[in-house]
Amino acid sequence: MQLLDGKLVSEKIKKDIANEAADFLMTTGRKPHLVAILVGHDGGSETYVASKMRNCQQVGFDSTNIRYEDDITEEQLINKIRELNQDETIDGLIVQLPLPKHIDPENVTEAIDYKKDVDGFHPVNLGRMQRNLPCFIPATPYGILLMMEHYKINTSGMHAVVVGRSNIVGSPMSILLARNTQPGNCTVTLTHSKTKDLQEEVLRADLVIAAIGKKNFITGDMVKEGAIVIDVGINREVSTKTKSGYKLYGDVDFQSVAPKSSYITPVPGGVGLMTIIGLLKNTLAAAKKEVYS
């Protein structure tokens, strides 16, 4: 079993991003700029946004965190997004999810200029991704592809089973793995909580992508010997044993699955770090107008 080390891979790629950002600054006189909007005081969201801001600083980007209380109206939020869309000094714009229940996340996502949509959630980017056209790939699937590239994992001909069908991870991941690319060229089964005989479906997988949002959902008896297991889950539970006051668990029961795996990602220290890399690479590409001129 080999650990797919998100910390090691992300640090290496961040050095490359920092070098490109330094060249961009010399050429243009400005840094790539990411703006993140955070609504309310969700603990997980605050942690994620702080990490994104910190990583921007590490690679030489400008970053701005705009915060609102959770009583902001949808109209006020969308008006702010439209204002930021017009600001030529901003390259990437993200709105941290989840949002308060009175705000429709689809309306918010569609309000973001797709040329600044570095999370890769806008329908234009998702549609272009499906057609294998240049676009911003959703950050988590992008990070997973970059990790597999780093470890030179040849996925061609594999049977990949994706567990979870979200628009953020599961659905785009299934499309990307089926494309005629490397990583890619898989036969893909997209499963979810309503799939019949889910255990049998996962047991057939050479590559398992676990993104269902349930702690330790994938267990050792669901995974065949030698499978590659990518754990996307980040499930937070209150803990008195950690400084932060909470402990993170994946969607995979690492203890029972790891001995059977050829490769596996840990939680924390795996996909979460690579998601930020996907976001940084998208932001740099947006600044350099590499995807949309």
Q: Domains in the chain, ordered, with CATH? A: 28-113 (3.40.50.10860), 139-273 (3.40.50.720)
Of the residues 62, 91, 119, 251, only one is catalytic, namely 119
Of the residues 14, 52, 116, 281, only one is catalytic, namely 52
**How high is the pLDDT of residue 179?**
95
Which segments of the chain have a pLDDT < 50? none
**How high is the pLDDT of residue 202?**
98
Of the residues 14, 31, 62, 96, only one is catalytic, namely 96
pLDDT digit string, tens, across residues 128-173: 999 999 999 999 999 999 999 999 999 999 999 999 999 999 999 9
* Annotation says 199 is catalytic: no
CA dist., res. 87 & res. 108, Å (int): 18
Neighbours of 95 (CB within 10 A): 24
* Annotation says 119 is catalytic: yes
**How high is the pLDDT of residue 144?**
98
**How high is the pLDDT of residue 249?**
92
* Annotation says 96 is catalytic: yes
